[in-house]
Structure 1
Amino acid sequence: MIYHGIYRRKFINKIIILCMLSFLIGYGVVFWFTQSSNIQDSAIETGYFYSNKDSRSAKKNFSSKIEVLEALIAEDEKAIVPNLGENGRAVRIFGEELKQAEEIIKKEAFNLPLSNKIPYDRKIIDARHPRCLTKKYPSDLPSASIVIIFTNERWSPLIRTIYSVINRTPANILKEIILVDDASTLDELKDKLEYYISTRLPKFVKLYRLTERSGLIKARLHGARQATGDVLIFLDAHCEVGIKWAEPLLARIKEDRRNVVVPIIDVIDDKTFEYQNNGGTYDFEVGGFTWSGHFTWIAVSDEEKTRRKTAEAPTRSPTMAGGLFAIDRKYFWEIGSYDEDMEIWGGENLEMSFRVWQCGGVLETIPCSRVGHIFRTFHPYTFPGNKDTHGINTARTVKVWMDEYQRLFYNHRPDLKDIDIGDISKRIELRKSLNCKPFSWYLKNVYKNKFIPDEHAEAYGRVRNEVTNNCLDNLQQDEDEKINLGLYPCHEKLYDSQFFSFSLNSELRREFSCAEVLPHTHEVIMQKCNNSPWQKWQRTNSGALVFLMTGECLDSAGVKISGTLHVAACDKFKPTQKWTWDNYS
């Protein structure tokens, strides 16, 4: 009896010890898993909803709401006009309907009432180059995970984006469509969207919810972490993909996993929903940047046209717009994904563009892939904290990647020079670990025709008339358009509006625009540089600026503040024709 009692106590003690060990091990696993999740998504994931249910379970989950949800969906479908906007045709509205649409456009930044009438699965034009139509692609292309993030995206453009991907992407390469909702507040994007996905879309369409507004960068990172396809293809939530859009992208990545590729981005008109092919079938633009840190479209250089040989061949692009691109999933992480300390939106596209090129990759536009995109004139949603996230994110990019050329960025944005941009040590370490090249290499080998205002110039800085102490000034005009060359009191410091160069190519110019003369009025205007004789000047030892086509000199006589400069007969004794520069090379 004593023996059995001792045995029983020992047995009970072992059970207790085993239970405690199990608890500690279990707690450790949970703690490790939680910490791992926090390491990956600490900034965004306090919880998410993942929808990948069949219709039966959806009816069970929404059993008390089915009637209401079906009625809402039926109401949307009732508004659709069959064949409206078919083949990407423009749809024009008039009268009271137009007035109502114009008011909504002020809020939504596109014609929402018209979008709601156009079928989700409309056909669009085939804008590809004729030689693209006969191209053959490998049968063993890598699989694609399509990542689409959104916040308060309106229903019809979002659903149209999804259907265009489903209908125009072969099943054997479409691994999944990953939707990441960045904490939307619109009712139509809550139960209604979950129910619609569950009952009407294929199981490979998956919805993840972020419970806190996190921004484009962190939302995309979340989507990329869920992806299982060989290639990540990021799309905006207001697109329509073209015929055989995915195959050319995947084929190029299959050739070399370091190729980061973008489609030609065509325009879907924000008011008429007309599908407009970018540059026609034969001509298109690629990505550039401004020294102020913004993306811009530029023409394909003559050198690149020669290198690629044919118009439909992959075309090197110095930067990308960032909304639509494809990248090998493993390479995405190897090369540094996104800068996770960037906030919300802005600057991430230039950061990735510079990083890809400087760290051994190639960024290309693939002409045989075309995707339509609604370009909106403003953001119809808010940015938390009302911060200049674009500026701060770009300053992070500049500090890490642009080396000594950051001076040109800070000339445009002196307000950002001493601002707190957060810790960039991890990104600097990434650059070192990837053995990346300097920004000077990028300018010499990738963006060869990028104008460097203080290097490609005989003189640069403020251009001052000594008599009046007034300077050449762009008068804050939009330089995407033809503008007048103005006069304004010289600033104490050099600011962007008064930064001019006299180029080694005999141009009086700014970053993209050059001075020329209107023949009938003799007024001086700034227009896109085109290397024409009408943009050639001479700088004399006496300080005159001579327009070579007529032999006349830049003159400020009679020009009021904010007025337009002109040329007049040269007179070396006339003080209003004498100009000095801050710097001479």
Structure 2
Amino acid sequence: MYVKLSVLHRKLWRKRILFEVFLICIILITTHQLYTHRNGAEETQRKADKGGLAEWRDWHDYGAIAREALREGIGEQGRPAALPSGYDKEVAAASWLVYGFNALLSEKISFERAVPDFRHLRCRSMTYHKELPSTSIIIVHRNEHPSVLQRTLHSLWNRTPYELLHELILVDDFSTSPLFEVSLEQKLLAKFGAKLKILKLTEHQGLIRARVAGARMATGEALVFLDTHVEATQNWLPPLLQPIVNDPYTSTTPNIDIIDYDNFEYIEGTPARGGFDWNFVYVELPLLPEEQAALPAPHNNPIMNGGLFAIGAKFFWHLGAYDVGLEVWGGEQFELSFKIWMCGGRLLEVPCSRLGHLYRDPKFNVKYTNGTDDYQGKNFKRVASVWLDEYQEVLYKHNPELLRIKVGDISARRALRERLQCKPFKWFLETVAPDFVRMYPPFAPPDYASGALQSVAVPQLCLDSIQLPVEHHIGDLRPCSPNLQQPVDSQNWQLTFHRDLRQANENCLDVQSKEPNASIWLWPCHYEGGNQFWYYDHQSQLLMQGEPWTERRCLEANVNTRRSYMNICDSNNVNMKWNFGLVNQSLLDNFFKGLQANVEIK
């Protein structure tokens, strides 16, 4: 028996040894392949780099990445969090009113929590110049919740290469909250040492002037401006700096992820290009097909979001920094973006650089100043007066109240534009983002149809939004306005050249389900067709939703409940027939002309 067991043990031992040798071989082969792949990539980059003189480096901190992967706890790995049972609901509600997010929950989440890595897989093996510019990170805060501010600072400290982080400049724009006591500043200085510099303004300056004050204090070769409620991800800075090294007249923006204001979940954002509508509201444009195909390569960004960007210090001051004649905030990202593009530079979004941004509850109104003046209107007109040339009239057409606003002396800004020999705004529209002009034309083509949508089955009833908020399902049928061509706002619909059905507040009819009796929703217009594509057949009087190559649904009135829903189209169903207050039949006859070409452009 003993002999049999000994033989068995020897056989098992040999198998174990062979298995371990096999594993070691696999590990060695894999390591060799990775090493060869990285060296090959670095060699390719060296050859492509101006004669092969620059050295390249993998800037990842693999030790930190491994440690963060093991972190567990509330909100860790960017997972949605929740307050423990028995929390003080009155305290939670009060903090929500002050900050616009779940501030009590924020206090429960670690300042150093780990967040997911949503980067494109190719980003994780990319290398960048060994010598990158020293960087000053400038953050302006005013009465920010301490836990959010500290999470911002800790994420930057933990995930920014030490040798690149020249300084963290924290500009306190005259905070009045009792939470910002000297003890907090001392705690921050003890943690971050000499690299943290605190600038306390003696009066409220507003974001724009406070950022300029921070930039004057900065001594780094590159400036990075960030909001105070962000979380950096691993290796965020090197890819943001590399394009600036390649061309010092370049400014860069990161890919922005979303931090949920309710549960602090870290949500993946998508690459995008910034733009604006003719109310000077920032909008996002889809990537061009060639940019989508080239991901994760940096791509042109017509207009920066404004909150997060990097720029060489010399280029920033060459462009005249921010216009300090602008007040508080609003319009500054347009002015800086126009200057970058029109005055010889380039603005890029860098998908391999990602930061999460905490967006406040949309219902929360931030009070930036105690003044009553329309400072944003002043900013918009000031920017338009210097940079928009003849197109400023388009802005005034959409916002006639701007004509009455005085903007102060702008002679120095006009002289700056002349000295820098900046291109005309028409060049910006035609060259930087020609698709922007198609989506937001300065002079919008006429509507295909407009006015009230009157039920043929019950002519006294019309589709009414009853002034419900955006992102809300609608469908009520209410007594029609006396004038169907110019009804009350809640009954006034436009079938626009975007082929969507919208109201004056830029909210569109949106269908989110193909189920029977599907609801219609009022949703922000996204200009991409799909669930916001509508067509009115003035002959059959059907109001159809969906592109012609999809299964369409039609708007149907329920005369008993006085509600409307979406169902499969039936030209014999009188409840699906509608009259528009005003119909442009010649335009409707060419409704689908060029549609496929537009889809290909998108």
Q: Tell me the secondary structure at the aligned position of residue 206 of structure 1.
A: strand
* 1:296–1:230 Cα change, 3 Å: same
Question: Relative to structure 1, is the Cα distance of residues 380 and 524 closer, same or farther in structure 2, using a 3 angstrom cutoff?
Answer: closer
- Give the alignment partner of residue 291 of structure 1, picking from 278, 287, 296: 278
2:335 pairs with 1:344: no
1:436 to 422, 426, 429: 422
Q: What is the SS of the residue equivalent to 2:382?
A: helix
Distance apart, 1:336 and its partner CA:
2.3
Match of 1:304 among 259, 273, 291: 291
- Show the counterpart of 1:18: none
- Equivalence for 1:229: 220
Q: Given the superposition, is the C-alpha separation of residues 491 and 580 from structure 1 closer, same or farther in structure 2, using an over 3 Å criterion?
A: closer
Provide the C-alpha distance between the structure 1 equivalents of 2:163 and 2:86, rounded to a whole number of angstroms. Answer: 47
The 8 Å contact of residues 464 and 580 in structure 1, kept in 2 or not, is answered as: no
Correspondences of 1:64-79 after superposition (within 5 Å) = none
- How far apart, CA to CA, are the structure 2 residues paired with 1:403 and 1:473? 40
Question: Which residue number in structure 2 is paired with residue 217 of structure 1?
Answer: 208
SS at match of 2:404: coil
Structural mapping, 1:81-480, within 5 Å? 83-97=73-87, 99=89, 100-279=91-270, 284-306=271-293, 309=294, 311-377=295-361, 378=364, 380-450=366-436, 451-452=439-440, 455=443, 457-459=445-447, 463=451
* Cα RMSD (Å): 4.3
Name the SS of the counterpart of 2:306 in structure 1: coil
Summarize the Cα distance change of 1:498–1:253 in structure 2 as closer, same or farther, 3 Å threshold.
Answer: farther
- Aligned-partner residue type, residue 579 of structure 1: L
Q: CA deviation at 1:157?
A: 1.6
Structure 1 segment 32-71 matched on structure 2, within 5 A: none
Change (3 A) 1:502 1:111: closer
How far the C-alpha of 1:437 sits from its partner, in A, is 2.7
Whether the aligned pair in 2 keeps the contact of 1:454 and 1:460 (CA below 8 Å) is no
| Cα distance between partner residues in 1 of 2:109 and 2:519 | 48
Q: Is the 8 A contact 2:452 2:487 kept in 1?
A: no
Q: For the residues of structure 2 that align with 1:333 and 1:358, how far apart are their CA atoms?
A: 16
* Equivalent pair of 1:357/1:442 in contact (CA under 8 Å): yes
**Which runs of 5 or more residues in structure 2 are unaligned?**
1-70, 589-602
Displacement of 1:433 in angstroms is 2.6
Verify: 1:579 aligned to 2:566, yes or no. Answer: no
Classify 1:370/1:192 alpha carbon distance in 2 versus 1 (closer, same or farther; 3 Å).
same
CA apart distance, 1:507: 5.6
Q: Do 1:391 and 1:416's aligned partners in 2 also have CA atoms closer than 8 Å? A: yes
Partner of 1:537: 535
C-alpha change, 1:275 and 1:543, in structure 2 (3 Å) is: closer
**Paired AA for residue 342 in structure 2:** Q
SS at match of 1:200: helix
Q: CA deviation at 1:183?
A: 0.7
Cα distance in 2 for residues equivalent to 1:135 and 1:497: 54
In structure 1, runs of 5+ residues without a counterpart are: 1-80
More RCO (CA 8 Å, sep 6+)? 1
Matched residue, 2:42: none
Query: Offset at 1:407?
Result: 4.0
Deviation at 1:523, TM superposition (A): 9.1
Q: Which range is displaced more, 294-303 or 336-345? A: 294-303
Q: 2:303 is matched by which residue type in structure 1?
A: T
Report the residue type matching 2:304 in the other structure. M
For the Cα contact (< 8 Å) 2:328–2:368, is it kept in 1? Answer: no
CA distance in 2, matches of 1:107, 1:388: 23
Q: Secondary structure at the match of 2:129?
A: coil
Structure 1: distance between partners of 2:140 and 2:322:
15
CA distance change for structure 1 residues 546 and 188 in 2, over 3 Å: closer, same or farther? closer
Q: What is the DSSP-based 3-state SS (H/G/I as helix, E as strand, rest coil) of the residue aligned with 1:170?
A: coil
Q: Percent of counterpart pairs with the same letter?
A: 35
Equivalents in 2 of 1:114, 1:552: separation in Å?
Answer: 43
Q: Choose 515-524 or 128-137, whichever is displaced more.
A: 515-524
Q: Which residue of 1 aligns with 2:35?
A: none
CA positional deviation for 1:514: 6.1
Q: Any conservation in 2 of the 1:176–1:206 contact (CA below 8 Å)?
A: yes
Size of the aligned set, in residue pairs, is: 493
Give distance in 1, aligned partners of 2:201 and 2:553: 64
SS in 2 for 1:122: coil
Distance, in Å, in 2 between the alignment partners of 1:319 and 1:456 is 21
Looking at structure 2, the residues matched to 104 and 252 of structure 1 have their Cα atoms a distance apart, in angstroms, of 41
Deviation at 1:212, TM superposition (A): 0.4
TM norm structure 2 = 0.69
Distance 1:324 1:356, change over 3 A: same
Whether the 8 Å contact between 1:158 and 1:237 is mirrored in structure 2 is yes
Contact 2:136–2:223 under 8 Å retained in 1: yes
Pair 183,536 (structure 1): closer, same or farther in 2 beyond 3 Å? closer
1:427–1:129 Cα change, 3 Å: same
Residues in 2 aligned to 1:365 and 1:445: alpha-carbon distance in whole angstroms: 17
